[in-house]
Structure 1
Amino acid sequence: MKIQFHRRFINFPIPIVLIGLVLFSCKSINPAVNPGRSTPPPIATTDVNVPLKIPKETLSKLLNGQIPTLLLQEKGLDMGSGITGDFQLMRNGKISWTALDSQRIQLTVPINVVGEVGLKPKGLGSLFQSKLPLNEDFAPVFVIDPVINPDWSLGAESFELMDLGGNLAVEVLGMQVDLSGLLSKELRKWGNENLTGGKEIASLKTMVDLAWAQVGKPFSIEWLGGNTAFSIQPQQLKIKEFFDDDQNYNLWLGMNGKINSHPAEAAPSRAFPLPGLSQNDNSKNELEITIPLSVSYAKLDELLKQNLEGKAFRVDKKTTLIPSNIKTQAFGDLLAINMDFTAEQTNGKTLSGTLFVVGQPEYNAATQSLVFEDINFKMESGNFGAQTGVGLKKRKIIRSIERRAVLPIGDLIDESMGSIQNRLGLSTPIANLKIQNLEIIPAGFHPLKNELLIQFKAAGSVGVEWK
């Protein structure tokens, strides 16, 4: 049966076969048929992960700057043996520390005990009302398990007093009274009440909020003669913390969220609030931001006309095609281009009609241009001769359109997106952060009802300079 079919086919006159193929190919696209709505573009997101290795010297500065000077204050404290007193513990020098393992550190905190002691106001105490002053220096040694809480407070999970670092003794009515045990008891009591269960010792929130107000504030990008504003809306903030063998404090900070677009005049005035902290298991240094920018079809028509309209391009040795009246629109997930054409032949004949071209917008990194791939077209109008002539040269016309329907956008990327690197830089009291190795490329083209949406992807890493 295959042989019989083949024989029947080749018995048709060749011109009729060719015309049939042309007409069949032209019916592969029907402009009148609704291809359905285009697939919604993916949500524009931002993902950043920064593994910070905080040097021991930097963390020492942070601890000494955040832990309060006044540690403990007591009035009318019963010290036993009929003795009572008032005293306060003040930091008296720089705190030093050593990491014992990945989670625990040993702190040596120089303190000064200032106050006065005396007998209780009864019995002998009613006869001797004078009080003895206290002014002694100590260097107690603690072991704590520091932790950063979800609200950015700095606390400790556990506390242990290893050494009081001095003795406290006073003479009352000729009696030597050792108050070291009492002081140790008070320090342990204070530590268990204030340095366990993650209770706040100091807060990083002010510093974090100031940094986020700088980075998270909405920014604008100039694009094709207009401005579009963008804001970062964090959805998850992640952290992991540990000490390494070199006594560095490691913080793996991660954030992901949405990128919102706004008219430039309607951008939010401040950064979105930060969410609470959750666990982070990512150790990579990476930054990726998706920036959605759109081109109206009217603007796209204007840009394409610069390369296509009125420009003659040769289809073959005998035919030259001149496009005009270019109009773009969405055709499902493809971009459609309507264009009138005039085909001039060397024999003096002129053919005219309308092409309905569809293709997939793509980015050519080598030429930094928006190009069209998988192009197909249909003769939407024109006489029979034009349909036949154009249809027979379909592949050549497609290749010509692919070569000419090119929109260079490299300069637009450089001009419009180059400020992102500086915009996302950050200066804090303990470190300067800057974006490095930033690359920005179009990562997706989405034909929508009134515009072509281009999603640009900015990818790089974060460099840190500690102070």
Structure 2
Amino acid sequence: MSFLRVFFYFTVPVFLLSSCSTTNKIDALKPLPSDNSPMVYKSTTSFVSMPLEISLKEIEKQLNKKLTGLIYEDNDMKGDKQEMKIWKTADIKITEKNGKIQAVLPLKVWAKFKYGTNFMGLNDSREVNLNGTITLLSDAKMSNLKLTTSSKIDDYVWSESPTIVVAGKNVPITYVINPMLSLSKSKISKMIDDAIKELPDFKPVVLDVLQTMSAPFITSDLYQTWFRMEPIEVYVTDATLDKSKITMDLGLKCNMLTMVGQEPKNTFDRTAVVFKSVTKVPDKIMANVAAISTYESASRIITKNFRGQEFASGSRKIVVNEVNLWQKDGKIIIQLLMSGSLNGTIYLAGIPKYNAQTQEIYFENMDYVLSTKGMLTRTANWLLQGVILKKIEASCRYSIKSNLDDGKKSMLPYLNNYSPMKGVFVNGTMNDFEFEKVEVTNKAIIAFIKTTGTMKVKIDGMD
């Protein structure tokens, strides 16, 4: 959706480390046990403009599937003294003419009509068979993804002039047949309008596209990062007929988020998506993405980042064996368990921030404290004030520039004639990602990122 399926290739969890500063001690108590309460954060909804284009060929295809064989029957000879049956002999062809839908219907007609007078039984009836085409012009309207028409017969063209045999001679009866059709043209036009009205509306198609776009998908195997879109409302304008297609504007109101860890559930509910008719929708994508990183997942991932790294200064060296993170009083506590020249734990704490110029995440107002095993803190001053800590601090910074660039590159295929289902095609453009802010909750760090772009959905060639 989707075009939307790749808004996040970049990996939020690694945002969690950054530069360190003062030697003020911090309260590094473990957090309270986690509960099952829902994660609460202020979400900014996204808006996706999706101009929808339905080709007349698609309408033609669906109408031909609907109308087959005998398409009209009038067996009542009372009143107009005629009976008529009409069969469709080939596919209906639909085009645009002067802002209307023109439908050319190849047909075979069987007609029976009475002529003469009832005086003394002086009347007779004749049957006639003929082939030709009927041309209809229709005013078309599509409201809330449902197509309706108001049709009128515009012309009749016969393969050969209809005749009957009277006294051994072929007598032309076009002058009889055409008035008969004229008497029935309102019925024939209604038959076409009813057939179009009975065509399935395009809501299921839009919902199928949204369902495909809403399925969670992994954006990074390394960091176990998933993207999910949650549709809320769909805004629909009335349609216009433009040459060979019907066009309208759709607007999707949704939430976008990334989650770290196990694959999230697909929460898409077709019955919960609300469709609303509007006169106009904005013509751009305005996406605000909430990237969620739980502390448990972030701890596991950052531990992997430190795995195999050795930090040395002179003869002294340490290895970070494990990283744990949690939140306390609006700050992130980072616990680093070390071994080597120093067996102990260092706690870092700070507020996550973003540097727009360097495109890096860093921690502001950073504090740290050292807790050692079997060693006085003063003997570890070489770590607190020395080169090794500076190296650890340097490795804590993380630039997201390449991730944002990769995110854009990975999204482009979904905007280049992407087909989430047969006969549905998505095209569009996307601007660069912009980092907006970072928020800390009791369960996770949430990074908010936004972008803009355009998108168009075309329906042509469905089953």
1-side partners of 2:441 and 2:301: how far apart? 13
Partner of 1:252: 249
Deviations 1:342-368 (A, max 9, x none): xxxxxxxxxxx9986543323445555
- Correspondence list, 1:150-165, <5 A: 150=144, 152-156=145-149, 159=150, 161=152, 163-165=154-156
2-side partners of 1:194 and 1:141: how far apart? 9
TM-score using structure 2 length: 0.63
Alignment-mate amino acid for residue 237 of structure 2: K
2-side partners of 1:208 and 1:45: how far apart? 23
2-side partners of 1:126 and 1:263: how far apart? 91
Partner of 2:132: 137
- With over 3 angstroms needed to count, the CA separation of the structure-2 counterparts of 1:76 and 1:139, relative to structure 1, is closer
- With over 3 angstroms needed to count, the CA separation of the structure-2 counterparts of 1:118 and 1:410, relative to structure 1, is same
2:199 aligned with 1:202, yes or no? yes
- Which of 82, 85, 90 does residue 84 from structure 1 map onto? 82
Alignment-mate amino acid for residue 65 of structure 1: K
- With over 3 angstroms needed to count, the CA separation of the structure-2 counterparts of 1:161 and 1:290, relative to structure 1, is same
1-side partners of 2:58 and 2:219: how far apart? 40
- With over 3 angstroms needed to count, the CA separation of the structure-2 counterparts of 1:165 and 1:48, relative to structure 1, is same
Considering only CA atoms, is the larger Rg found in Structure 1 or Structure 2?
Answer: 1
- With over 3 angstroms needed to count, the CA separation of the structure-2 counterparts of 1:428 and 1:31, relative to structure 1, is closer
2-side partners of 1:305 and 1:264: how far apart? 22
Q: How far is 1:235 from its partner?
A: 1.9
2-side partners of 1:234 and 1:199: how far apart? 29
Partner of 1:335: 332
Partner of 2:425: 432
- With over 3 angstroms needed to count, the CA separation of the structure-2 counterparts of 1:129 and 1:291, relative to structure 1, is farther
Q: How far is 1:212 from its partner?
A: 1.5
Alignment-mate amino acid for residue 135 of structure 2: P
Alignment-mate amino acid for residue 286 of structure 1: I
User: Contact 1:113/1:137 (CA < 8 Å) preserved in 2?
Assistant: yes
SS in structure 2 of the partner of residue 62 of structure 1: helix
User: Contact 2:233/2:253 (CA < 8 Å) preserved in 1?
Assistant: yes
User: Contact 2:72/2:188 (CA < 8 Å) preserved in 1?
Assistant: no
Partner of 1:9: none
Partner of 2:4: none
- With over 3 angstroms needed to count, the CA separation of the structure-2 counterparts of 1:363 and 1:418, relative to structure 1, is farther
- Correspondence list, 1:181-192, <5 A: 181-192=179-190
- Correspondence list, 1:49-448, <5 A: 49-52=49-52, 59-68=55-64, 69-70=67-68, 72-78=71-77, 80=79, 83-88=81-86, 90=88, 94-100=93-99, 105-119=100-114, 131-147=126-142, 149-150=143-144, 152-156=145-149, 159=150, 161=152, 163-165=154-156, 178-192=176-190, 195=193, 200-203=197-200, 205=202, 208=205, 212=209, 215-216=212-213, 218-223=215-220, 225=222, 227=224, 229-243=226-240, 249-259=246-256, 267-268=265-266, 272=270, 275-276=274-275, 278-279=277-278, 281-286=280-285, 288=287, 290=289, 292-294=291-293, 296-299=297-300, 302=303, 310=311, 327-337=324-334, 357-364=348-355, 367-369=358-360, 371-377=361-367, 405-409=396-400, 419-422=410-413, 425-426=418-419, 432-434=425-427, 436-437=429-430, 439-440=432-433, 443-448=436-441
Partner of 1:48: 48
Q: How far is 1:210 from its partner?
A: 8.8
Alignment-mate amino acid for residue 145 of structure 1: A
Identity %: 15
SS in structure 1 of the partner of residue 61 of structure 2: helix
- With over 3 angstroms needed to count, the CA separation of the structure-2 counterparts of 1:355 and 1:429, relative to structure 1, is closer
Pick which of 302-311 and 224-233 moved more: 302-311
- With over 3 angstroms needed to count, the CA separation of the structure-2 counterparts of 1:291 and 1:426, relative to structure 1, is farther
2-side partners of 1:381 and 1:262: how far apart? 30
TM-score using structure 1 length: 0.62
C-alpha RMSD over aligned residues: 5.7
User: Contact 2:232/2:255 (CA < 8 Å) preserved in 1?
Assistant: yes
Alignment-mate amino acid for residue 86 of structure 1: M
Unaligned runs of 5+ in 2: 1-22, 339-343
User: Contact 1:297/1:450 (CA < 8 Å) preserved in 2?
Assistant: no
Report which structure shows greater RCO (CA 8 Å, sep ≥6): 2
User: Contact 1:52/1:253 (CA < 8 Å) preserved in 2?
Assistant: yes
User: Contact 1:108/1:142 (CA < 8 Å) preserved in 2?
Assistant: yes
- With over 3 angstroms needed to count, the CA separation of the structure-2 counterparts of 1:301 and 1:248, relative to structure 1, is closer
Alignment-mate amino acid for residue 161 of structure 1: K
